[in-house]
Amino acid sequence: MSHPGLNLSGKVALVTGGNSGIGLGMADALAQAGADVCIWGTNEGKNLAASAQLETHGHRVLAQRCDVGDEEAVDSSFAAAVAKLGRVDSCFANAGIGGGAPSFMEFDTETWRRIMRVNLDGVFFTYRAATRHMVERGGGGSLVVTSSLSATEGAPRNEAYAATKGAVISMTKSLAVELARYGIRANSIQPGWIESAMTQRAFANEKFQDRVGRRIPVRRWGVGGDFGGLAVYLASDLSEYHTGDNFVIDGGYAVF
């Protein structure tokens, strides 16, 4: 029998980038725990497939096409989610993209700005909409951002991605302090090497598979489902005194 505090019945969770990978792993666990779930994604086909999966748990599911780098789209989508589901209790700012260059000297400005737009501006827009709603309705809430080990470990040729992932940790810690008076907690998650569409190219490289795989103590790659339990905890009342933290979920990679 599960702990009653992990029952999310009556709660609503929003997961950006929730139609695949880590986002879908979190959304699925949240729905299984009883939450109504809203997912954002830009691929309509993936949104539909994810919705079908989430609906099997018997709770309300809303899938919205939303580009988190578009300020107006975020504000209108968030308002529509509240109108449809009544409230948002936890907001998981998970949407993100990758992108690099053969070397930093060859890093083009367009790629830099494209990554900043989604990974940093997108979190800012999403967090801002969520905090405005949570403060206005009262009762607190939970903010969670998906960062990356690249925020604290060197990520050669991926400086833009690393910069955004470090920035969102700093943003989240600041929000943990500022918003505590409203009962809103804010935490970040640092995934290690996770099998997803974003990492597909790296995983296709045999040299990468060999060198990196040997550094993971649990001897396997991470998957979206590995983030489900943490998502449920952070959305539950059991975490109401847990804020300003950063969770490393990497199978022991960073400490080996």
Report yes or no: 216 and 192 within 8 Å, Cβ to Cβ: yes
> By CB neighbour count within 10 A (0-12 exposed, 13-18 middle, 19+ buried), where does 194 fall?
buried
Catalytic residue among 20, 77, 90, 148: 148
Annotated active-site residue 161? The verdict is yes
Catalytic residue among 165, 196, 239, 253: 165
In this structure, the number of other CB atoms found within 10 A of the CB of residue 56 comes to: 11
Annotated active-site residue 182? The verdict is no
Annotated active-site residue 253? The verdict is no
Give the angle 155-123-23 at the CA atoms, nearest 5°: 80
Catalytic residue among 127, 161, 233, 253: 161
Tell me whether strands 90-93 and 12-16 are parallel, antiparallel or unpaired. Answer: parallel
- Known catalytic residues? 148, 161, 165
